[in-house]
Chains A and B, each alone.
Chain A
Amino acid sequence: MARAVSPRRKTLTTLAAWSVAFIIFFPVLWMILTSFKTEASAVASPPELLGADWTLENYAEVWQRSDYPRFFWNSVVISLGSTLLGLAVAIPAAWAMAFVPGKRTKDLLMWMLSTKMMPAVAVMIPLYLLFLKLGLIDTRFGLVIALMLMNLPIIVWMLYTYFREIPGEILEAARMDGAGLVKEILYVLTPMALPGIASTLLLNVILAWNEAFWTIILTTTKAAPLSAFIASFSAPQGLFYAKLSAASTMAIAPILILGWFSQKQLVRGLTFGAVK
């Protein structure tokens, strides 16, 4: 039930929300502003804002010095590929857990989630050696597999939560109507869970796009995505903050735009089933 809120309280709450949002967004904003400053302005102390020297040179130099389109394309392939592959594996898994749960399904789900709590560095050496042996180092295919495995617990968990909201009787009706397992998932379950699947896809694309640990370790040049592209601007000669900021802005811009346009879908998907 909606509660009556006084205008004063409403103003204070709005102000608090905007303040928190600004604090969260400030580093991104500062990075974008820095990307338009000269190197001298970028490192000036106290920090310059109004009196800074503004320039587009950083972007031009970053574009010339590196092959941005290749990094960008690698990011697209790796994040989309790992998410789509993850969905293909996770949809049947989540179906089984949601609609034909066994005695240990809950334990299995908890175990899957617990793997996300493990520090990634703990499996760094074994995974690196495994990839080396299989010839997967610096390949997009290798990264797709690695990131799919990293994000699979989250994908399964999210889909499991959405699937549980779908009445089992509808799937039984499909079975009575002659649908086998594949057709039941394809024609009935997937379209019904589409909002949930879409937000799972979006969130995992974002997670995979932002993944830096594994992408830097498992790639060198050929398959390196935008996270490695940023890292390449921290040169041994020192940090060039303005150029680094320009590179970072170029790296996050696509996902920031995607996130902006899909925010409604994301919020809807993440709160799916929370309120009946």
Chain B
Amino acid sequence: MGKITLQHVNKSFGEVAVIPDINLQIEDGEFVVFVGPSGCGKSTLLRLIAGLEDVTAGRIDIDGTDATHLPPARRGLAMVFQSYALYPHMTVRKNIAFPLKMAGLSEEEQEKKVQHAARILNLSNYLDRRPGQLSGGQRQRVAIGRAIVREPAAFLFDEPLSNLDAALRVTMRQEITELHQSLKTTMIYVTHDQVEAMTMADKIVVLNAGNIEQVGSPLDLYHRPANLFVAGFIGSPRMNLIEGAEAARHQAATIGIRPEHLDITEGGPWQGTVGLTEHLGSDTFLKVTLDTGELLTVRANGEVALRHGDRVALAPQQGKIHRFGPDGKALA
């Protein structure tokens, strides 16, 4: 079981309200990603759930029990830290067995569980090494192993991949997703990387300045952003936002169109000049300055033979324009 409910959770450091008021429900077995820019309160929210920070007000329930004032050890949660937080003076075996030792399990039981976790995480050959003798990816696996053996109600991940290089990040991302599929345990994952959020999550919670901007599935957020913040944050490259007369023509204060939903086509309604072009092989990103002054990003499939200074006409795909009101909220 791993159902977590947050009711009117509030956290202030002195006068500063980092998390003004949050209500959130995380279902058992869900993979939930907290995403948002630096300083949005996502790590603080995770630490509140973990019990590493005390809530200023509000209530946190874990599996129907009030855990608001329980110490971290009694919440039945396991956490994987950004810096791995391995015990450098202990071997991998002792690191993984540490929570079991704290729980008072016999040495035989500890060894059995350590061996099981090591098999799952391909660490069997490294059990007698110290963390300092392992690579970044192996260290992260040890940190995950230490979390797995506890058989927690939920796993908490605090930006666990940000210290790894790009290639290893992709591999570990897949490994964590597979682990979730095999364990079927609730996972809460904090990241500022929206690609990680989109690829791993069942449910994404977008945070901004301590408030939840939107909760939904990755594709929900991509196709139906609730407001300008989510529209700009989810998707890479980010959504093009246009104000002024063109937006007014669509009865909106701002309209948004994703770079992949713009076609380069003769006779398109938006004319402009190509600026920077980025060739990725599979795609080409073009920066186009419209005659009306707006700068748009266009994502074209494959290679496009357009150069700096070329004239283009762009057409938004049918039904792909997002409309936002003066308050930034999406219009129906």
Contacts and interface: CB of A to CB of B under 8 A. Distances in A.
A178 interface: yes
A135 interface: no
A176 B87 contact: no
Q: Looking at B85, B88, B103, which has the most chain A CB atoms within 10 Å of its CB?
A: B85
Contacts of A192: 87-89
Contacts of A180: 71, 73
Given A176-B72, A177-B73, A177-B146, A170 B85 contact: yes
Contact of A172 (B77, B78, B81, B89): B81
Nearest to A169: B85
A167 interface: yes
A179 interface: yes
Interface in A179-201: 179-180, 183, 187-188, 191-192, 194
B262 interface: no
Interface in B178-220: none
Contacts of A191: 89
Contacts of B150: 177-178
Contacts of A172: 52, 72, 79, 81, 85
B13 to A, nearest CB: 13
Tell me if A's interface is mostly helix, strand, loop or mixed: helix
B305 interface: no
Tell me if B's interface is mostly helix, strand, loop or mixed: loop
A172 B143 CA distance: 13
A20 interface: no
A175 B81 CA distance: 13
Interface range on chain A (Cβ under 8 Å from partner): 10 to 19
Contacts of A178: 73, 99, 102-103, 150
A173 interface: yes
Interface in B73-119: 73, 77-79, 81-83, 85-89, 98-99, 102-103
A167 B82 CA distance: 12
Contact of A183 (B72, B82, B102, B146): B102
A175 B89 contact: no
A187 B97 CA distance: 13
B81 A179 contact: no
Contacts, number: 59
B50 interface: yes
Contact of A177 (B52, B88, B102): B102
B72 A167 contact: no
B81 A169 contact: yes
A169 B86 CA distance: 9
Contact of B71 (A170, A173, A175, A194): A175
A173 B85 contact: yes
Interface string B24-64: 00000000000000000000000000101000000000000
A173 B81 contact: yes
Contacts of B99: 177-178
Contacts of B87: 170, 173-174, 188, 192
A176 B102 contact: no
Nearest to B99: A177
A179 B102 contact: yes
Q: Looking at B78, B81, B102, B150, which has the most chain A CB atoms within 10 Å of its CB?
A: B102
A180 B101 CA distance: 12
Contacts of A174: 87, 98
Contacts of B79: 172-173, 176
Contacts of B102: 177-179, 183
A178 B78 CA distance: 10
Contacts of A176: 50, 52, 72-73, 77-79
Interface string A150-180: 0000000000000000010110111111111
Contacts of B89: 191-192, 194
A151 B119 CA distance: 51
Contacts of B103: 178
B85 A175 contact: no
A272 to B, nearest CB: 15
A173 B103 CA distance: 14
Q: Looking at A169, A177, A194, which has the most chain B CB atoms within 10 Å of its CB?
A: A177
A172 B87 CA distance: 11
Contacts of B72: 172, 175-176
A194 B82 CA distance: 25
Contacts of B98: 174, 177, 179, 187
A230 to B, nearest CB: 41
A155 B85 CA distance: 27
21 contacts: A167-B83, A169-B81, A169-B83, A170-B85, A170-B87, A170-B88, A173-B81, A173-B85, A173-B86, A176-B72, A177-B73, A177-B78, A177-B99, A178-B150, A179-B73, A179-B98, A180-B71, A180-B73, A191-B89, A192-B87, A192-B88
9 shortest interchain CB distances as A-B pairs: A178-B102, A173-B85, A177-B99, A178-B73, A169-B85, A191-B89, A176-B79, A175-B72, A169-B81
Given A173-B87, A177-B99, A180-B71, 8 more contacts: A167-B85, A172-B52, A173-B146, A175-B71, A176-B77, A176-B78, A178-B103, A183-B102
Interface of A: 167, 169-170, 172-180, 183, 187-188, 191-192, 194
